[in-house]
Amino acid sequence: MSDFRLRVFQAVAQHLSFTKAAQALFITQPAVTKHIHELERHYEQRLLERRGNRVALTEAGRLLLAHAETVAAAHQQLEDQLHALRDPEEAAGRLRLGASTTLAQYVLPGLLPAFQARYPKVQLTLLNANSEHIAEALLRGELDLGFVEGRSKSRDLHYELLLNDELVAVRGATAAGPPRLPLPLAAALAHPLVLRERGSGTLEVLEFALRALKIKLSNLPVAFYFDNTEAIKAYLEAAPGALGVVSRRALDRELAGKLLEIVPIAGLHLPRQFESVWVQGQPLTRPAQRFLSFAQSQVKAIA
């Protein structure tokens, strides 16, 4: 069993806050302080620099954090292997999923209840972040399995196709309805644009397509960058004349309710792929294997 004091230290190092660490671990802030002081007395080293309400790791703290993460990973691997020995057919243990925003909002939530019903002993968490942050979290060992979109690839990660997707231009619904003919590219790009933020797979796909057409995003009238699709849709409903670019899978409710409408653009086609991803050369844990197989089987119904 791992030392609980190391878990407390990891939480403080992750949040750089005693208060947030206490909230994450469901203990009191004085208890967090007590555990950190015990570690510092044991190692006779300052592990944290306290500057008012801010916390920073010392060199000794960074060394201990690396050790604590290794211990935590070994402990989890032992638990997974013991679960597998007890019941080779059943998945149990921790499963830390990460998904880029579109997948986390519009694809995975529909899969999770059925997976939980089938594998009730899997302790499931889901991190929602953009594709760049999911890749970074995998490489730091903070996730077991990720799901991303976009064109960038890391040589340290392994990617497999999960589901095809398409980005579309969209605007607030008009009395005339969607245009019958595609808008000329230049006319469409003259509208105020509402886009996803840097690091998102959605923006990356758009930039790549524009670059192929020798168009720089920096030369276009971008009204706003948002870190999630729901904010883009809400903005478009309130901003006549603005144009956004989002996943077709994110628009079912708004299209049915005639709140938004798709605007075809001549010469601009934005297909992309949703992919499962994990660390290259690192075997998936049993829960991750089970979830990947389950997700692959389920998305065939929505492909």
Identify the pLDDT of residue 76. 66
Q: Are strands 145-149 and 93-99 parallel, antiparallel or unpaired?
A: parallel
How many residues belong to the chain?
303
Identify the pLDDT of residue 285. 85
The CA-atom distances, in angstroms, between 72 and each of 62, 198, 291 are 15, 32, 22
Residue-level pLDDT, tens digit, the chain, 303 residues = 457 888 889 888 888 888 888 888 889 989 999 999 999 999 998 999 987 767 889 999 999 988 887 777 677 667 666 666 665 555 678 899 999 988 999 999 999 999 999 889 898 999 999 888 999 999 988 899 999 987 778 889 999 999 999 999 999 999 999 999 999 999 999 999 999 998 888 999 999 999 999 999 999 999 999 999 999 999 999 999 999 999 999 999 999 999 999 999 999 999 999 999 999 988 888 889 899 999 998 887 665
Identify the pLDDT of residue 1. 43
